[in-house]
Chains A and B, each alone.
Chain A
Amino acid sequence: MNDEINEERLDRWIREVAQGYHRPPETPRDEMWRAIRRQRRRRNGVSFRPTVRWLTWSVGVAAVLAVGIGIGYAFSRGNGSAPPVATTPADQPSADLAGSTASQPSLALTVVANQHMAQAETFLLLFRSAVEEGLDAPMTPGTARELLATNRLLSDSPVGRDPKYRDLLQDLELVLAQISRLDQTTLPDEKTLITDGIKQRAVLTRLQTVVPAGTTTPALNMGVL
């Protein structure tokens, strides 16, 4: 009888003292909620920060392209041989929208092309790295589509007829088109196939060869990346 009473008292005492065992601090609810939202976005293939980063980048691409084409166009007007923007090479084989000859892109377009190549290189490096690490690529297919649009503009410009850029732009178009079609249902193997294609065609090596040292992306200039 006494033993039972003693056991009960001891158990009660243990329960009381055990309240201090790993006593939880205040729940950091807002901090954890933010982390949960980030994790869920990542798992769903949507990431806020990278989206902002790549959106800024895309705006940079568009801005550089517009400035480059504008400069090229101004040059062409200054040379007195300004064809309308819609003129096709077949209509006017000696000049184009950027004031370049069919075989010789203007300096402005070359700068734009180099910027584009540098951005594409960074994009593909990040993509490859994410695939290798089995992560959801932070760059959205939307970013690939932005780059693809720029790529097509350049392909249709004298840059696209320049042997130095032509084949690379074509291979780049293929890769960017593949990435732009990725979605949540894409299997890891399909992403690996894309990175294998990048490797087989030596796209990154050729990009690094084409891009002059010191070329920076607009995003880098803005300190975003």
Chain B
Amino acid sequence: MIAMPSFEFLTDSLRPPGIAGEGLPRTWGLKPSLLEALEQRPPACVVEVQARLAKLFPEFDIGHLPDVAAGAPRAAGSASYHATSFVANAPVWGDAFQWHVDADPASFPGGSHWLSTYGLYENGTRGKPLLVSLLVYLDQEWWPEWDAETLFCDADTGVGLLVQPQPARCVLMHQDVLHRISTPSLSAHRPRYSLVWKLVFVPRTTSAPGEVGNLGADLGAASLAMERLGDVLRVAQHDVPLASKPAGGLDAVDRETICRPEWGEPVRIGRPARTRSVK
């Protein structure tokens, strides 16, 4: 067990300045009551988008991401992990945005109902709920020189991709992908409006190789979870010889993903999922 002085030292010394965005200006967002209304009393257009999404992904049951911290012991003064099921952004010139992920089921708080139900797992683990965000660009027009792209990054390699806003364009992303908004240029002279659904895609087939199971929040359980998740990750990434993978690739079998096979082989950005021989 780590001693208190050491703990405090680590806490202080390892805290990078500004990591929590101290001093950064807040940005424009739809008022919480209106966001809640989108979920509680969804207008027809929201229902239509959801219905289309369900039709597009028939292999999943799709729902709003719940409060993943529900049930977890929470120290007084600590903030909730949960955000609303919708986020509406309107970045304007001068705003500042940070790299972040929307949610990561491998880091949900111990003792939560979510953890009791699904255990710790890497987003995309076969048979487990896949956390997905749907972003829709809503401006009637948006020129490339107005910037405000959505940026995605592989932190390990420092490379990524960008998506320029276009009217009615949609971006589906795994919620654990590192991303951020870029600020509109001065020439935009307007906010860039977007609406984001925070979703959970629950596979209708529930077989889950590498089942993690329910875990408590104690340190021993956490260590066990580390070991078990390590197993899952190895199976998913490196340890299964290519020759033994079923036709269609390991990807299609062992992972839940929004990348539908009929859309073709995904472009791989950043560290490759598996090493291929170049001999």
Question: Is chain B a partner of chain A in the same complex?
Answer: no
